[in-house]
A and B are shown apart, each in its own frame.
Chain A
Amino acid sequence: MVKLLVVDDEVEICDFVKNFFKERDFEVFVAYDGKEALGIIEARNPDIVLLDVKMPEMDGIETLKAIRKHNSSAKVIMVTAVEDAEKAEEAKSHGAIEYITKPLLLEQLERTVLTVAEQIKMER
């Protein structure tokens, strides 16, 4: 089972995305901020991280940098608001493999995560 970590400070979004991917056979963890995310990465070693850019205190970019320092092999997909498009590019330069803009297309969220999951399964 592919392990997915959802990082977003909005509880409802976490709940929805968690439920959405559980139904698509993922093992899903949730973190409401960057620090919590790093803890889960350390303990659970997720394969994919769905990371919201806009978060209080430690934002998505800072979290991404910290994940990279951690030597984690997790593939990071950024979720950004439309108005933060340049942040997405910045995230890519720090090793994010993909980004999705919010409000997002559900089929795009599904396709993006499933495609990355397929790659991970192939690499195994």
Chain B
Amino acid sequence: MADEGNWLKLQDWIVEKMKSCDGSLIPIDPASLPRRQEPELDYQFFLENASRTMIRFKKPERLIRMIVRIIDEQVKVTHTAMLLYQKDSNSFEILDSKGGEGVKIPVGFIRLTFDNPLLRMFNERHNLKVSDTGAVEYKELLDFLNRSEDVKEQPALAELVELTIKQMELLKANICVPIYYKKGLIGVFVLGKKLSNIKFSRQEIGFFTTLANDVAMALSNAQLIQDLQDKIFEVHRLYEKEHSIFIHTAISLAAAIDARDPYTHGHTERVTQYALSIGEELEDVPEAQTYRNFKETLHISALLHDVGKIGVPDSILNKDSQLTRDEYERVKEHSVTGAAILYPIRELGDIAKEVRSHHERYDGDGYPDKIKGEDIPFISRIISVADTFDAITSDRPYRERKPVEVAIQIIKDTQGRSSTR
């Protein structure tokens, strides 16, 4: 799952960016604006201010609902509806509506297809030939048809106007305002008559156009954010997938190493478990914080700590008696071999180092580099303790296992010498 906190931050960042590019997006403090004297213009101020701040709405649907509500409450029309393009049905559907009983167009009840004359009017920009505001008014369409010279000059347009009138009658629309995004029509505000029966003023139409632009902006923002979120999610998913493949490869490799050594069967799995348990306790200490991803590095290092045993001959691994000095030296090579195997894999980062040092001792008496104390990587020290614990508590060809309490005592006794403090 994509990190919600992150994408919210990203969204804020986008809003900030947009603010710096376009001053109109800055939410306005009402106190800073000059008081409007005319009481009949109050709602205009309200709309203007609301529309500017509402750009920040996370979900455009909410913005649209709020706009529809504001128009309904402030402008007082018989009904308001917001048609929005729906990809699924390739048509325009009502996303929200308000209005009186029987006049309100129910949400989801109707759709308009692209051949609809009203949509063609906007989509093909014929609206600009009829009205200079871009909005289509019922009255203006009638006026157009009454101008016989216009009708004669543009018969095709006249026909479209006639069909649009019919369409507006079906919707009981008095005025329709287009919403464009990237030059394409994505929605239409449908407004009925004013309850006062007074004609809409140019100023009012201007405000509807502003609101339409805001909706387009909000939708494009939401689209942008959605696209980014999808991308983040996809990257995250790919990472998870790759990571899971990687961990499973490491587990398979570890199992292959384990399978070669019948006496230490299950050793890697147990050491990994112990190391992760220790890691859980220590994840908040400063040393753990020095790793970019402590838990993951610990997990993979533990899984692969004995990968170098691949280079130790079977005759030595399978020997059921004490090893000779030479044989023991061969076994000791496994930490260097392991590091050499892991080193070329860039993604593994520090893991080669951790594997190389998992047999170092705190007092400097370990191998291969005889480094001591805090010079030994933190994760190597954890694996070392886990490794020791497993060695004591499991059977070996030449001795029986000891109880857990004994193992803990031994590790405590050797603190500062073989193991970490």
Contacts and interface: CB of A to CB of B under 8 A. Distances in A.
A106 B106 contact: no
A103 B170 contact: no
Contacts of B104: 12, 15-16
Contacts of B109: 12-13, 16, 102-104
Interface residues of B, number: 21
A16 B81 CA distance: 13
Given A16-B109, A110-B170, A103 B103 contact: no
A82 interface: yes
A109 B374 CA distance: 82
Interface stretch (B110-118, B138-146, B379-387): B110-118
A103 B101 contact: no
Contact of A105 (B102, B103, B111): B111
Contacts of A106: 110, 170-171
Interface string A84-120: 0000000000000000001111110010000000000
Contacts of B110: 103-106
B113 A105 contact: yes
B105 A103 contact: no
Contacts of A82: 89
B108 interface: yes
B108 A103 contact: yes
B72 interface: no
A18 interface: yes
A82 to B, nearest CB: 7
A10 B170 contact: no
A73 interface: no
Interface in A14-64: 15-16, 18-19
Contacts of B360: none
A24 to B, nearest CB: 10
Contacts of A12: 104, 106, 109
Contact of A107 (B94, B108, B170): B170
B112 A105 contact: yes
Given A16-B109, A110-B170, A103 B102 contact: no
B93 interface: yes
Contacts of A10: 106
Contacts of B106: 10, 12-13, 16
B119 to A, nearest CB: 12
Nearest to B92: A103
Given A13-B109, A102-B109, A19 B89 contact: no
B113 A18 contact: no
Interface string B145-174: 000000000000000000000110011000
A7 B167 CA distance: 25
B81 to A, nearest CB: 11
Contacts of A19: 101-103
B102 A15 contact: yes
A110 B108 CA distance: 17
A36 B131 CA distance: 48
25 contacts: A10-B106, A12-B106, A13-B109, A15-B101, A15-B102, A15-B104, A16-B103, A16-B104, A16-B106, A19-B101, A19-B103, A102-B108, A102-B109, A103-B91, A103-B93, A103-B94, A103-B109, A104-B111, A105-B111, A105-B112, A105-B113, A106-B110, A107-B166, A107-B170, A110-B170
Interface of A: 10, 12-13, 15-16, 18-19, 82, 102-107, 110
3 closest pairs, A vs B, by CB?
A19-B102, A103-B111, A12-B106
Given A12-B104, A104-B109, A105-B116, 11 more contacts: A15-B104, A16-B103, A16-B105, A16-B106, A16-B109, A19-B103, A103-B91, A103-B94, A103-B111, A104-B110, A107-B167
